[in-house]
Amino acid sequence: MAIATLSPTSSLLPRANPSTNARLALPQLPWPCSSSHARGGSAYPPKLRSAVRDSRRRTSVATCSAAASPSPSALPSALLFDCDGVLVDTEKDGHRISFNDTFQERELGVTWDVDLYGELLKIGGGKERMTAYFNKTGWPEKAPKSEEERKEFIAALHKRKTELFMALIEKKLLPLRPGVAKLIDQALAKGVRVAVCSTSNEKAVSAIVSCLLGPERAEKIKIFAGDVVPRKKPDPAIYLLAASTLSVDPSSCVVVEDSAIGLAAAKAAGMKCIVTKSGYTAEEDFVNADAVFDCIGDPPEERFDLTFCGSLLEKQYVS
């Protein structure tokens, strides 16, 4: 079984020799958020194109004409959470293990070690992650040859991986990160809309929300996940869709993310973003974040609360 490892400084190599360890460099993908699509291009459905235009118009008006002294009790209209790495530190001992168990079940001869998976996380979405990996290291012998059949092959692998991951969640083998339940309870008690916006499969995200946050919270939380938008983070589509669906202004939303691609998506949507670092993202560049913490935290080790989230919104009124 060949185990591929990855170095961010390594060069692109030919197809890996299955008899040796292979070093893999993933392509530097052109993030769609820097293209015309982020400006409401034709890749978006009409609802998302409208959301992009409305976001820019409202943000411009708020910046130019808002009152100089906003209410000290201002709160976000919506609190939007990423899932993996924010609600639960799922990547290393959750998703990665489930991918590897799937590869082993299908006898593909593939194992993603801890370092390699950290590099693969730079690609949003599990299906996209597997496709990029196989495109660079070579497709398994059991994989079909045509592009359309390979899409189906990847979809089947991802479906099985999701089933295995959900079993881990249902057994509560992965706990919520400190402060998550507290902050969500604060928001719901104050009438702030709460949603989870993730590139992960919708069933997996729903399992995390319902099993770990409980059914009472879950019924009040809107979930936007998986292929609900045509382009995944760092494209802002999922956050713009959330704002549009919840009928809130993007500039009044606060996002909690853990990764650079999630931060890029939130900022491109015109939202405030707090980063809570996770195991895989601690060394990423968060220079554009509105605040950075190691976690949300529960008292007496609380890092921030809902009031702090509201205070970030007041900064947009200061020139």
State the Cα–Cα distance between residues 218 and 229, nearest whole angstrom.
22
Is there a catalytic annotation at residue 82? yes
Catalytic residue from among 54, 82, 89, 227: 82
The one-letter amino acid at 154: I
**Bridge partners (DSSP) listed for residue 84:** 88
Catalytic residue from among 84, 89, 235, 290: 84
The 8 Å CB, 24+ separation contacts for 94-99 are 94/165, 94/168, 94/169, 94/174, 95/126, 95/161, 95/165, 95/200, 97/164, 97/168, 98/161, 98/162, 98/164, 98/165, 98/168, 99/126, 99/130, 99/161
Say whether 101 sits in a helix, a strand or coil. Answer: helix
Name the CA radius of gyration of the chain, rounded.
20
Is there a catalytic annotation at residue 227? no
Give residues with Cβ within 8 angstroms of 305, minimum separation 6: 182, 183, 186
Catalytic residues: 82, 84
